[in-house]
Structure 1
Amino acid sequence: MHLLVRENRTLDEQEVAEDLNLPSADLVVLSFTESDLLALRHAEALLRAQTEEGILLPTLQVTSLARLRHPMSIDLYIDTTLQKARCVVVRLLGGLDYWRYGAEELAAWSRETGVPLVLLPGDTLQSHGSDVQQQAAHTGDDGRLAQLSTVSAEHYARLNGFFQQGGPDNICAALALMSALAGMQEDKGTQPKALPTWGVYRSYAPTITMAQAQIKAVILLYRAHLLIGDVAGPECLAEELAQRGCAVDIVYVTSLKDPSVAKDVSHYLQSTKPDVVLDATCFSARSQSGFSPLDVADAPILQLLQPGCTQVLWEESPRGLARADMAMQVVLPELDGTIATFPISFRKDAQPGHPAFREPYKPGIKLVAGRAIAWAKLRKIPQSEKKISLILSDYPGAGLEKSGAHIAHAVGLDGFASTSSILTLLHNAGYNTGAKDVPDAKVLASTLIGGYSKPVLDTKLYRQLLAGLAPAFVQSVCAAWGEPEQDANVKNGVFCLRYIQLGNISLAVQPDRGAAADRKALYHDPDTPPCHAYVAFYLWLRHVKKLDAMVHLGTHGTLEWLPGKAVALSPSCGPAVLTGDLPVIYPFIVNNPGEAAAARRRLGAVIIGHMTPPVMQAELSADAQELERLIDEYAEADGLDPRRGALLRADILDKAVRTGVLAESGVRPGELDEAEALARLDAYLCDVKDLQIRDGLHVFGKPAAHSKKLVQIIAQACERQEDTVFVTDVAHKIMQSGKAEAQALLAALNGRFVTPGPAGAPTRGRVDVLPTGRNLFTVDPRALPTPSAMVLAEKMEKLLLTRHLQEQGEHLTHMVMDMWGSASLRTGGEDMALALRLMGVEVQRTSGTGHVCGFEIIPLPLLDRPRVDVTLRVSGLFRDAFVDQIALFDQAVAAVAERNEPAEWNPLAASVKGLEGEARKRATARIFGAAAGNYGTGVEERLNTGSWDTKQELGTAWLEGSSWTYGGGREGQQDMQALSNLVGQAEAVLHVQDNAETDILESPDIAAHEGGLSAAAATLGATPTVLHGDTSRPDMPRLRTAEQEVARIVRGRLANPQWIKGMQQHGYAGAAEMARGLDALHGFAATLPQRFDRQFDLVFDQTLGNAACDEFLKQENPAAREAIRMRFVDAWRRGLWHPRGNSVACVLDEENKA
């Protein structure tokens, strides 16, 4: 019998190996927590001060485990620093699985040398009565650490108690016990002393009187930090708030997860009633039951950031935070509904492996204080006096050629109808909205379209205000755009921008970031600073209009994509410079977690999730309905009347050819026998008919329209169609969503707490995202890919490999996947799970938390197929949000490449065979994307502006814009040749769509990614199959070619009279959606090798070729109509579309008519 060995790897192996070369000592303590190490040094100093001169104390070495992640680093540490050690204590935050290699190697070393080893859980204790030893036994550890330790249970419990309780006396006693275990002194049997688990450390009285009622602020911090005196940042912040007129309490806690502490803090906040809470603790305080002690304050919770690095390292980092800080201080606290802020302290510079105290960061403290007071003031200002601005985007999608076609664009939202709804909401709540009657959507649209602008800020005042901004930001703006007077929006020395003033409410259109010709290119580009008009817009809102809060309406604008760090922004980062103290409230579609997270973290915004558009079943077009009727007739005749059946079959196929439906089904005439062709045609018609399409758009704060179909989809996704209680509950939550959205907006504007809630796609069965109207958070990326994602990926894996084998006659060995951040957050990492499974890799997890901690390689006999060499093209959001997943995949690639397996079974290993050093590192690069800090592919702007002549130009643009490598320490090194080699040998490329709320023609972005990749392959002489995965029903994944998917969506939605009817209900916004869909179709026609003449015909027939629809476009959004006309003209002139008849030319040739 032969045992198949599975090769296991941990993620710690991705770290860079280093030799700390620290001197050995009698007592050695290692911990992930700096406060542990500082407390030990402080206790050591106390003991030395209390010891008579001449008496030798045990020597002590303390080391940060953050520097001992790589196995080689651990081996070197054991060989050097532990050489003379007589007792070793390790405190592991998160348990054994977070440092398994080190713990197991130390255990083996301890048993070999006889040196006592104590492995303690680093997690904070939970209160269990008054007995300290009993408390120490309930720290959440699974017992494996104690089993690996080599001391008695009594000694183990006492040491654990000393560290859990903390404080000078307990830590001194811990050192004494360690000395006893080392045989250097007697054990006096000292027991841990219980300390208060929470309390008010210090109160600060305001030093000035505020204009409004006094603001009460509460700062929360860890007791462990207080006990060692490492609280300079929070203390400095408290002093700053007091100097600005706030009363401040600093409250210390062991952990807000401790039920006893949570209960007491909850009562304290209830009685104190603070106006704002500033939280310097980490992780989430929310219990499994959903309770958080912070909720009861009903006040904004600002998350304070204290990076575990020096200021210099932070300044050099484009990300802003390391992975651990990101998880502990940003992602997990978001579960509590926190508002992102700025760093208030950094570690002092120290030698490698040594602990260091924090020092305050004054610029960040001033920013946090200003923002905290601004949020708190919303609780004090009467509604009738509050000054609010509603910001509408002018998205560079449909209608770029003619301005005004897509004002107030927001994904899934009717922007102008939602604006009117919000104005009505504010009016009824007592806000001053000017006239008695709130303008409706049509009036608002007609007022703001057509480039209508008003003078807002003269250049003299602008220069004065500009001089007060961060010098680095000002210099970048002037270097990129010259003098303010040169700005195109300046007329007679005054900036002119589009806005309407309605009482105290400013309704304004967000200006372009730069030149109109570059709008799409600049939309997601964080490298180019905004132009002067853009800066003037926000300075005008803050200093002239003197806003109290800003509401950015819908997904999404450009403010969050300005230059700067991804998170933990500096005072020079674009979003921080322009928002200043201003509270930002951001209604955002609930199914877009990635971009919502970017807005939340870079703007400090409260993200209010709103419902997706209503859905309906796609109805077949008239010619498709006729085919369906004939097929049903054929089914009845077949077997009963063979002659009639044969005639019907021929008639059906002839009609299917003439209408183009047969080609849409993936069948070419004569390719299959008639029976098989008919079966494919029937399946395609069913596929189109089953398509779920949007039935209009959502209006913020209004009850979801036509929700019955969505309820059915959710119940089906959850396999609970027959559960009437469940169905009723889902229907109720959907109907409550509009009201919840309105209440959340009012709560945020009143400076009250907005309940947090998850983001996700309702049509995937995500009942937990309902009702909407909650402050959106995302999943913890450390758990991705999730177990369910791995299971679902297995289904897609089988579908993909089987299809390729059947169609190509050989196994798939090389492919490229287009991977997006928001989709990964929605699905729990299904795309990454699929990529790993294709390589023959499975992930490993920590016990308890379920975090991914490593992987194992499946042996070929078990895999029973060749491994696939997978290349990832990741989006900018994926690159920023999934650092661990990039490291995981890169490490898996390296491990698979090391396998000694036949070339035909492991093409990845074969491709790097014989290479060493830098050549091997370059050859194993499999993760590519845009340059660090950049977003997009480089194709979007060319498609949008028409600045291209050949498909080869688009392919080259994709390669140039995607050629930066990531993982393995590369972090954005450009290697276009490596990417070209991999794309050139790909047999298939894949993009997966994970929900029914969007589709391939939702926006031109998918064409730029998926189509751009196809064009790149064609440029290199390759012809991979371009596949579009559909996992909107996770139980039934589907795989179609991009050509088939485009055809299906055109017939099922874009050219579907029912969809057009739904869009017409939304006037201006609906017309813009039609133009946007055509942009996407044009993008695919420009990038894919196939032709889409029939699809252009279908869309033309239902829009400009349809008198009623054409009149609708002329009346509701003439700019969108012109954009549609010009897009058709462009497709015609470039040869992308050969129209069926001459009548098309008559409609399109309006320029010559004029």
Structure 2
Amino acid sequence: MHLLVRENRTLDEQDEAEDLGLPPADLVVLSFTESDLLGLLHAQERLKGASPSLQVTSLARLRHPMSVDLYLETTLAQARCVVVRLLGGLDYWRYGAEELAAWCREHKVPLALLPGEATRQGASTPASMPDDTRLAELSTVSEEIRNRLNGFFQHAGTGNMEHALRLMASLSGQGADDGAQPEPLPQWGLYRTVTGVPVEKVTAAGRSDREATRLPSDRVLRATLVFYRAHLMVGDIAALDLLAETLAARNCTVEMLFVTSLKDPVVAKGVAEALSRSKPDILLNATLFSSRNPQGESPLTVADAPILQLLQPGATQAVWERSPRGLSRSDLAMQAVLPELDGAIATLPISFRAEAPPGLPAARVPYLPGIRQTADRALAWARLRYLKPEQKRVGIILSDYPGAGLTQETGHVAHAVGLDGFASLASILTLLRAEGYQTGHAPLPQPEELVALLAQTAPRPLFCVATYRALAAGLDAAFMASVTQAWGEPEQDPCVQDGKFHLRAIELGHLTLAVQPDRGRQADRKALYHDPDSPPCHAYVAFYLWLRSVQRLDALVHLGTHGTLEWLPGKAAALSASCAPAVLTGDLPVIYPFIVNNPGEAATARRRLGAVTIGHMTPPVMQADLSPDMQALERLIDEYAEADGLDPRRGALLRKDILEKASRTGVLSESGVRPGEDDEAEALARLDAYLCDVKDLQIRDGLHIFGQNAPKAETLAQAIFQACRPQSERLQSEAQTSEKQSALLEEITARIRQSGPAEAQALLAALAGRFVASGPAGAPTRGRLDVLPTGRNLFTLDPRALPTPSAMVLAGKMEKLLLTRHLQEQGEPLTRLVMDLWGSASLRTGGEDMALALRLMGVEIKRAESTGHVTGFEVIPLPVLNRPRVDVTLRISGLFRDAFPDQIALFDQVVSAVANRREPPDWNPLAASAKGLDGEARTRATARIFGAARGTYGTGVEEALQTGTWADQAALGKAWLEGSAWTYGGGRDGGQDADALATLLGQADAVLHVQDHAETDMLESPENAAHEGGLAAAAAALGASPALWHGDTSRPDTPRLRATAQEVARIVRGRLANPRWIEGMQQHGYAGAAELARGLDALHGFAATLPERFDQQFDMVFAATLGNEACDAFLQRENPAAREAMRARFADVWQRGLWHPRGNSVAQVLESGEQA
């Protein structure tokens, strides 16, 4: 009998091993919480040698198993008592705790393992601890001793810490136990009130003078700052004090409340009551995690005021300055992701950890630029509460893809995913006028008038260069130097004429409506595209300076998903004062209506702009149905099914007729029939399945208008209901009877109808300086009922739990389908795969793509029992896996890189573990590729995570496709390779290795991109072609021809897998050339016409990058648009710029040989621009 060994790894092994070199001592205390360690050191000083020697150590530096082993051999060599306080429980330091317990038992050293969380139910005695019996089982001291020690640490303070040291000394045999019990201290309370200075006493500077605030002269704003009692006990609150004093000097009284934990019911109740009494205008929260209780309630929301999350990274300032991420993996979760559940608004860091020897605690050092900007942001949000609507100056910004420049209008102004931008703007104007905002005296412009004013009128001279220079001198010097270095002097900017910047903007009373300019383009754009330090151009900087300093805005509304501001250079989170988004927004409150199904990009806006992202509804949907020629085929197939077996002669005639008609219309090739391989029966089966696939395709029926109800709520509710049924236990149990089904449909419909009004109210609340409730982001039609109603500040999943258990299960379905289908279609098993991973999809699905990659490599996930967080993995032995492992390479998006550092580290560890296994080469191709290699050669051979350079986004193909600056498919493939050649994981953080990527892609059997919901498709945007098609072009440029797969998990229980070219053809038939979809878009005028143009651009992108030809598809789209008299007239009337863009695009693909049109009228339309 042979035992199968399962290799286990923990995430702790991703950190570098280090020898802290700390000297041994009698008493050793370890904790993740530096206030514990600082408190002990202060107590030790007060005891003045009356206590045995003490060594304290931060567990954050002892994550790697080898670090733990070295620590046991050195620092613990003379230990006589050890105490460990584990924030998060055993699973956060499991290897260390178990090894330490074994060492203490072997050496008969007293050991107490304590929980790091606060006692439950607000107990004032140490008798109750958070339940983790494993800590008690590993400890060697009695439960009574553990409870006392726990109480000393929980209540903290110098006295309790002195008692803790005395008790530890007695355990070490150096003194008697005096029996002291923990001294309860207030769990929450008022530390101090810093009184604000009235407006008339404030020096006129910046936005602090009376004119800028526009507040009554005796008005003093109120803020409440909530922070941990533990920091107060050790005197580590210099940054908090300084922030409070900065606010007080600028017209704001600050109450500073200390708490043990906002999750403690007693503390939560007390804080809620205090906020109800004080009624602050702004809340500043310096606690970690989310303050929500199991019922989803937070004491901080009682004040109905904005909550600013105060960032205090655990790194030193020097480390933070070098980091493109801004926050460590743990800080990202504790200080960004989880506070977002409370609706918190991001700020700049206000302090950093002081320099200290490795493993030793350090106090925090204030960061003055962050404190100033955080104070500015707090005051700006607070002012919104007291300015009357008619006083407020609000800017509403529309995006422009691609950027229009000075004279060219592209037909894409106000583009936003799933949103009619101009209709939404008109809706918001109506809402604001009704609320009392100053919108001028004339009738409000209708959507078509807004189009004429903002899209079809030349930019206006708004901002003189001399004023720009004067104001820019007040911006961050390093940032402005980079702008000038990249773009020259302001006078050289293409948007400058006659000494003035020309911008697209109009004013309606106190409202400024403007179009965001292009961030900058120049002839040598290729050289700049992947430079993470490439700043925006002068016109872009001037635009935001004009809004802030000339228009003197009080708030900024960025309308729809998404603009370019949040994608400018800078850190991913915890921005510096030099990061472009922070420089340009300054203190302006940013309110960002955002489509509810895009959690990743919403998170980017929240973390980089400090935005309140108001989720809005997705567009209405409908089934595509079939075109007349496909309906005729469907009827013939039905006739054949009836005749087959009853009338063989008639069946044979029908079969021949069906295949001839399908071939003539191009449907046969689209259905995936393989000439010479599939017999007639197989061909008919594929054809029938394809017709059903197109017929059942879910497509948009128009666009959403912000703040308005979906016009076809019942249809959308039915789509959501059908998506939910297979996967929701709740729906399965409630949908047993027709009556319950009807009730459930009514509930879904009601939530949809609540969404429009909720969006409008959330916008008004944000502009009024009130709290906007948080809500999850996700795809409604994937069964996410919890995202409805919309109108909430979007939050995402805790990345530490990804991939989730359900994601691992659902990925198993795609794993089986992919392996089976690839073998059937290609004739060989899948051994090497390149996957295209996106951040938003990972957040929507709980990490299904990553789960699929792990399953293909033969790995299972391990989790913490208490939290569900991923703690490690297990490599499945080949006899159990019962198939070869797949060597998986990931091409990650920039958003995935920023949002998922833990998953990157996890996958890199998996690669290392699988590469080190001794298994047959044909069963473990990854290990075979690294066999016999050491050092740098092995590091390069095991690189399996690639993406864009740090701080950049995209693939490098987007710009080439947009501008037409590409010669052939090989050039696009080269651009993708150059833009994706940076490696991640295993200490490779952003190193460039194009050769390694080229080798892996050249050897790949297949590439895969998975689409996770049906509210969008691959022809929605040219960006899809840049990623999915760019990957294919890169493979072709290397002389490789991997299978190109497009996965579809919009119905997770029944995933689909199609050839990428087949999916393009399906979407063209089902949506892009579908008269029903076009009619829906025509209801939205200018915006609808722009959607038609974007679809053509996306088709062009795939035609340029994929090996297949799409002549049939271009014919169909042309016939449905420019070749259709009614549609062409619509384009000419509503959006002539989009119509011209489509004409130019058709002409370009024709001239490049990507399209050989069949119609004779095509040439006349494309060459003359006239209607067909």
Q: Does 1:81 align with 2:75?
A: yes
Q: Does 1:133 align with 2:126?
A: yes
Checking the alignment, whether the CA contact within 8 Å between 2:20 and 2:358 is kept in structure 1 is: yes
Q: What is the rounded CA distance, in whole Å, between the counterparts of 1:1034 and 1:931 in structure 2?
A: 32
Q: What is the rounded CA distance, in whole Å, between the counterparts of 1:810 and 1:473 in structure 2?
A: 54
Letter in 1 for 2:322: E
Q: 1:766-815, CA deviations, whole angstroms, 9 ceiling, x for partnerless residues?
A: 00100000000111000000000000000000000011122233321101
1:571 alignment partner, SS class: coil
Distance 1:899 1:244, change over 3 A: same
Checking the alignment, whether the CA contact within 8 Å between 1:527 and 1:562 is kept in structure 2 is: no
Q: 1:1076-1098, CA deviations, whole angstroms, 9 ceiling, x for partnerless residues?
A: 00111111111111111100011
Match of 1:152 among 142, 148, 155: 142
2:1058 alignment partner, SS class: strand
Contiguous gaps of at least 5 residues in structure 1: none
Please show how residues 632-647 of structure 1 align to structure 2 within 5 Å. 632-647=638-653
Aligned to 1:320: 326
Q: What is the rounded CA distance, in whole Å, between the counterparts of 2:198 and 2:321 in structure 1?
A: 34
Please show how residues 525-540 of structure 1 align to structure 2 within 5 Å. 526-540=532-546
Q: 1:691-741, CA deviations, whole angstroms, 9 ceiling, x for partnerless residues?
A: 000000000000012122221222222213553332211110011000000
Runs of 4+ deviating beyond 4 Å: 397-402, 516-526, 1151-1154
State the 1:519 CA deviation: 8.6
Please show how residues 1115-1130 of structure 1 align to structure 2 within 5 Å. 1115-1130=1133-1148
Distance 1:762 1:398, change over 3 A: farther
Q: Does 1:680 align with 2:673?
A: no
Checking the alignment, whether the CA contact within 8 Å between 1:71 and 1:102 is kept in structure 2 is: yes
State the 1:125 CA deviation: 2.2
2:341 alignment partner, SS class: helix
Aligned to 2:30: 30
Letter in 2 for 1:176: R
Please say which of residues 1094-1103 and 949-958 is displaced more in the overlay. Answer: 949-958
Contiguous gaps of at least 5 residues in structure 2: 201-209, 726-730
1:342 alignment partner, SS class: coil
Q: In percent, how many aligned pairs have the same letter?
A: 71
Please show how residues 47-86 of structure 1 align to structure 2 within 5 Å. 47-48=47-48, 57-86=51-80
Q: What is the rounded CA distance, in whole Å, between the counterparts of 1:129 and 1:868 in structure 2?
A: 53
Please show how residues 80-119 of structure 1 align to structure 2 within 5 Å. 80-119=74-113
State the 1:516 CA deviation: 6.8
Aligned to 1:1072: 1090
How many residues align structurally?
1144
Please show how residues 897-1046 of structure 1 align to structure 2 within 5 Å. 897-1046=915-1064
Q: What is the rounded CA distance, in whole Å, between the counterparts of 1:695 and 1:151 in structure 2?
A: 68
Aligned to 1:891: 909
Q: What is the rounded CA distance, in whole Å, between the counterparts of 2:404 and 2:835 in structure 1?
A: 27
Q: What is the rounded CA distance, in whole Å, between the counterparts of 1:1002 and 1:526 in structure 2?
A: 27
Distance 1:772 1:573, change over 3 A: same
Distance 1:1153 1:180, change over 3 A: closer
Q: 1:1131-1152, CA deviations, whole angstroms, 9 ceiling, x for partnerless residues?
A: 1111111111222111111169
Letter in 1 for 2:1152: R
Q: What is the rounded CA distance, in whole Å, between the counterparts of 2:880 and 2:893 in structure 1?
A: 33
Letter in 1 for 2:657: D
Q: 1:120-151, CA deviations, whole angstroms, 9 ceiling, x for partnerless residues?
A: 11112233544x122xx232x42101100000
State the 1:234 CA deviation: 0.7
Aligned to 2:205: none
Q: What is the rounded CA distance, in whole Å, between the counterparts of 2:938 and 2:641 in structure 1?
A: 60
Distance 1:641 1:402, change over 3 A: farther
Please show how residues 279-358 of structure 1 align to structure 2 within 5 Å. 279-358=285-364
Checking the alignment, whether the CA contact within 8 Å between 2:284 and 2:307 is kept in structure 1 is: yes
Distance 1:376 1:572, change over 3 A: same
Match of 1:649 among 655, 675, 690: 655
Aligned to 1:221: 227
Checking the alignment, whether the CA contact within 8 Å between 2:29 and 2:82 is kept in structure 1 is: yes
Q: What is the rounded CA distance, in whole Å, between the counterparts of 2:590 and 2:123 in structure 1?
A: 44
Please say which of residues 329-338 and 936-945 is displaced more in the overlay. Answer: 936-945
State the 1:522 CA deviation: 7.9
Please say which of residues 950-959 and 866-875 is displaced more in the overlay. Answer: 950-959
Aligned to 1:209: 199
Letter in 2 for 1:30: L
Letter in 2 for 1:977: D
Checking the alignment, whether the CA contact within 8 Å between 1:615 and 1:707 is kept in structure 2 is: no
Q: What is the rounded CA distance, in whole Å, between the counterparts of 1:402 and 1:584 in structure 2?
A: 28
Checking the alignment, whether the CA contact within 8 Å between 1:398 and 1:1072 is kept in structure 2 is: no
Match of 1:193 among 183, 198, 212: 183
Checking the alignment, whether the CA contact within 8 Å between 1:932 and 1:972 is kept in structure 2 is: yes
Q: Does 1:21 align with 2:21?
A: yes
Q: Does 1:729 align with 2:747?
A: yes
Q: 1:294-326, CA deviations, whole angstroms, 9 ceiling, x for partnerless residues?
A: 111000000001111211111111111111111
Distance 1:1088 1:770, change over 3 A: same
Please show how residues 765-844 of structure 1 align to structure 2 within 5 Å. 765-844=783-862
Letter in 1 for 2:581: P
Letter in 2 for 1:138: M
Distance 1:401 1:1150, change over 3 A: farther
State the 1:402 CA deviation: 5.1
State the 1:977 CA deviation: 0.8
Q: What is the rounded CA distance, in whole Å, between the counterparts of 1:585 and 1:128 in structure 2?
A: 37
State the 1:1104 CA deviation: 0.4
Q: What is the rounded CA distance, in whole Å, between the counterparts of 1:914 and 1:400 in structure 2?
A: 59
Q: What is the rounded CA distance, in whole Å, between the counterparts of 1:748 and 1:344 in structure 2?
A: 24
Checking the alignment, whether the CA contact within 8 Å between 2:461 and 2:501 is kept in structure 1 is: yes
1:251 alignment partner, SS class: strand
Letter in 1 for 2:126: Q
Q: Does 1:43 align with 2:32?
A: no
1:640 alignment partner, SS class: coil
State the 1:880 CA deviation: 0.7
Aligned to 1:579: 585
Distance 1:815 1:101, change over 3 A: same
Distance 1:964 1:581, change over 3 A: same
Aligned to 1:856: 874
Q: What is the rounded CA distance, in whole Å, between the counterparts of 1:573 and 1:1007 in structure 2?
A: 30
Q: 1:1091-1122, CA deviations, whole angstroms, 9 ceiling, x for partnerless residues?
A: 11100011000000000000000000000001
Distance 1:520 1:479, change over 3 A: closer
Aligned to 1:878: 896
State the 1:634 CA deviation: 1.7
Match of 1:472 among 471, 474, 478: 478
Checking the alignment, whether the CA contact within 8 Å between 2:807 and 2:846 is kept in structure 1 is: yes
Checking the alignment, whether the CA contact within 8 Å between 1:796 and 1:1037 is kept in structure 2 is: yes
Aligned to 2:203: none
Please show how residues 741-760 of structure 1 align to structure 2 within 5 Å. 741-760=759-778
Distance 1:1054 1:521, change over 3 A: farther
State the 1:525 CA deviation: 7.2
Checking the alignment, whether the CA contact within 8 Å between 2:115 and 2:129 is kept in structure 1 is: no
Checking the alignment, whether the CA contact within 8 Å between 1:1086 and 1:1136 is kept in structure 2 is: yes
Aligned to 1:1089: 1107
Letter in 2 for 1:235: D
Checking the alignment, whether the CA contact within 8 Å between 1:207 and 1:244 is kept in structure 2 is: yes
Q: What is the rounded CA distance, in whole Å, between the counterparts of 2:720 and 2:7 in structure 1?
A: 40
When the two structures are superposed, what TM-score results if normalisation uses the length of structure 2? 0.96
State the 1:669 CA deviation: 4.2
Letter in 1 for 2:67: S
Aligned to 1:391: 397
2:347 alignment partner, SS class: strand
Letter in 1 for 2:579: C
